[in-house]
């Protein structure tokens, strides 16, 4: 595995891959890798012949009172995991390399970036959009792999690639979970043992809501009430949002007649966890 830390180094390696006719698959991450990330890497291996992983804790997607400073980092361990997966290139730039000065370009997704996570994290998706656009321009991947775990992010990146005509395919892979259902996340390391024991309530709530839709519930308000009630029964869980929204527009449908996204954000102490489940209602009639 080659590790590159500069944009010039990444472009040079990219030229080598292009000259060799390799199909480049990129997995953007913020590091502190877990099995969820590695599932993306394995999917990238299926989709390309040169697998690139980027590790960059992107300051522009963190709010002033968020966890940028304390976000877990362990580049040595991450590099060993990626090496074992047969990754070809690790791109791990510094903040100064990516942002030598304050960027003036803003990426916004009006109507899609002020709902769900965007409502409580103003500027977050603008930061994500900016860094992903930069990564696409630096690495020029044929395909980029993202996780369903961050459903709103995956949707916005699909729009970013389509609207700005990036010549990249966007692949989204299912959420990888712990045996008790908790979605894997680098932020799970913040949880105390009691919080960790309570955290599977997110997935339980999503499954209960999906079960209600499978049993015929078509009222999004009733589905949201079920999500809220399930999370509310867990004393350590502080609900931020619980929604049943259209999977494409993220707007609340009047009735569940098309694929929806069930999505949750829940706080355990200072730790904010998210999870979601896409649900297609069974055909009626
Ligand atoms: P992060 O390092 O948290 O920015 O995540 C990097 C990529 O890994 C994103 O596309 C995430 O959606 C994806 N990811 C994170 N956790 C999981 C998981 N549990 N299952 C699948 N993908 C994940």
- Taking only the tens of pLDDT, the chain with its 285 residues reads 999 999 999 999 999 999 999 999 999 999 999 999 999 999 999 999 999 999 999 999 999 999 999 999 999 999 999 999 999 999 999 999 999 999 999 999 999 999 999 999 999 999 999 999 999 999 999 999 999 999 999 999 999 999 999 999 999 999 999 999 999 999 999 999 999 999 999 999 999 999 999 999 999 999 999 999 999 999 999 999 999 999 999 999 999 999 999 999 999 999 999 999 999 999 876
202 and 157 co-located in one domain? no
Same domain, 160 and 214: no
The count of structural domains within the chain is: 2
80 and 34 Cβ atoms separated by less than 8 Å: no
Q: What is the pLDDT, as a whole number, of residue 284?
A: 72
Catalytic: 142?
no
Residues 233 and 114 in one domain: no
The neighbouring-strand residues paired with 25 are 51, 143
Please answer whether residues 222 and 252 qualify as being in contact, where contact means their C-beta atoms are separated by less than 8 angstroms: no
Alpha-carbon span 268 to 280, nearest angstrom? 30
Tell me: do 169 and 147 sit in the same domain. Answer: yes
CA count, 13 A, side-chain hemisphere, 188: 20
The answer to whether 195 touches 236, Cβ cutoff 8 Å, is: yes
Residue 285, pLDDT score: 62
In a domain, 181, yes or no: no
Nearest CA to ligand 1 atom 7: 29
User: Is residue 285 assigned to a domain?
Assistant: no
| 100-109: pLDDT as tens digits | 999 999 999 9
Whichever domain contains 62, its CATH number is 3.40.50.620
Domain boundary among the residues 123, 138, 173 is at 173
- Tell me, yes or no, whether 191 lies in a domain: yes
Contact 184 CB / ligand 1 (< 6 Å) = yes
Show the tokens assigned to 254. 């009047």
Q: Which atom of ligand 1 is the closest one to the Cα of 148?
A: 12
Ligand 1 pocket: which of 147, 183, 185 to mutate (most atoms <8 Å of CB)?
A: 147
Considering the domain boundaries, does residue 102 fall inside one? yes
Please say which residue of 119, 150, 173 terminates a domain: 173
Structural domain containing residue 254: 186-278
Domain match, 231 and 137 both: no
The finding on whether 61 has its CB within 6 A of some atom of ligand 1 is no
Residue 56 sits in the same domain as residue 161: yes
Query: Which token pair is 100?
Result: 């030598």
Q: Is 130 near ligand 1, meaning CB less than 6 Å away?
A: no
Q: Are residues 13 and 150 in the same domain?
A: yes
Pocket test for ligand 1, best of 149, 160, 181 (most atoms within 8 A of CB): 149
Residue 95 domain-assigned?
yes
Task: Tell me if 186 CB under 6 Å of ligand 1.
Answer: yes
Decide if 148 contacts 276 (C-beta within 8 A): yes
């Amino acid at each position: 595995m080659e590790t590159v830390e500069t944009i010039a180094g990444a472009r040079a390696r990219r030229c080598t891959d292009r000259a060799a006719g390799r199909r480049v698959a990129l997995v953007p991450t913020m590091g502190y890798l877990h099995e969820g990330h590695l599932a993306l890497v394995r999917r990238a291996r299926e989709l390309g012949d040169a697998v690139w992983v980027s590790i960059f804790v992107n300051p522009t997607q963190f709010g002033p009172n968020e966890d940028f400073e304390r976000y877990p980092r362990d580049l040595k361990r991450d590099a060993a995991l990626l090496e074992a997966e047969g990754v070809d290139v690790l791109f791990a730039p510094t903040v100064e390399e990516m942002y030598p000065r304050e960027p003036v370009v803003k990426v916004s997704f009006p109507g899609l970036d002020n709902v769900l996570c965007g409502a409580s994290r103003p500027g977050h998706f603008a930061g994500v959009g900016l860094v992903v656009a930069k990564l696409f321009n630096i690495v020029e991947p044929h395909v980029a792999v993202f996780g369903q775990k961050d459903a709103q992010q995956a949707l916005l990146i699909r729009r970013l690639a389509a609207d700005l005509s990036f010549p990249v395919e966007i692949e989204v892979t299912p959420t990888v979970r712990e045996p008790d259902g908790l979605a894997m996340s680098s932020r799970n390391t913040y949880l105390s043992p009691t919080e960790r024991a309570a955290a599977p309530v997110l997935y339980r709530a999503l499954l209960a809501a999906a079960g209600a839709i499978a049993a015929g519930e078509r009222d999004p308000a009733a589905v949201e009430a079920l999500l809220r009630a399930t999370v509310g029964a867990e004393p350590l869980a502080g609900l931020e949002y619980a929604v049943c929204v259209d999977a494409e527009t993220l707007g609340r449908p009047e009735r569940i007649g098309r694929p929806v996204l069930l999505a949750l954000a829940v706080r355990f102490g200072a730790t904010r966890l998210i999870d979601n489940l896409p649900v297609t209602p069974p055909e009626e009639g």
